Amino acid sequence: MISTNEVKLAEIFRVVLDFDDSYDVSSVRRLAEAKWDSLAHVSIVAAIESEFGLHLEIADMERMSSFAATRLLLEEKGL
């Protein structure tokens, strides 16, 4: 079952990376996705911080290499 937070995270990725609403972001990886440049990365970080009320550290941001890695990071932070 998909959690509410995972749905919110997927929506952030779809909006920032300009994907269709039905696009499955679960396998999106930063190095393999041309749309995920440095500006998109900063936008994803800002959107996550705003949506979930977090402050991500530099080490957290560096770990965000894929949707799956980002989801795991949020799970580790109790979300």
- Using the structure block, give the residue that is written with the tokens 């977090």: 54
Domains of the chain: 4-76 (1.10.1200.10)
pTM of the model: 0.93
The DSSP H or E segment spanning 44 is helix 38-52
pLDDT tens series, the chain, 79 aa? 568 999 999 999 999 999 999 999 999 999 999 999 999 999 999 999 999 999 999 999 999 999 999 999 999 999 8
Rounded Cα distance between 4 and 28, Å, is 19
The pair of three-digit structure tokens given for residue 18, joined into one six-digit string: 């300009």
Rounded Cα distance between 10 and 74, Å, is 12
Beta bridge mates, 66: 29
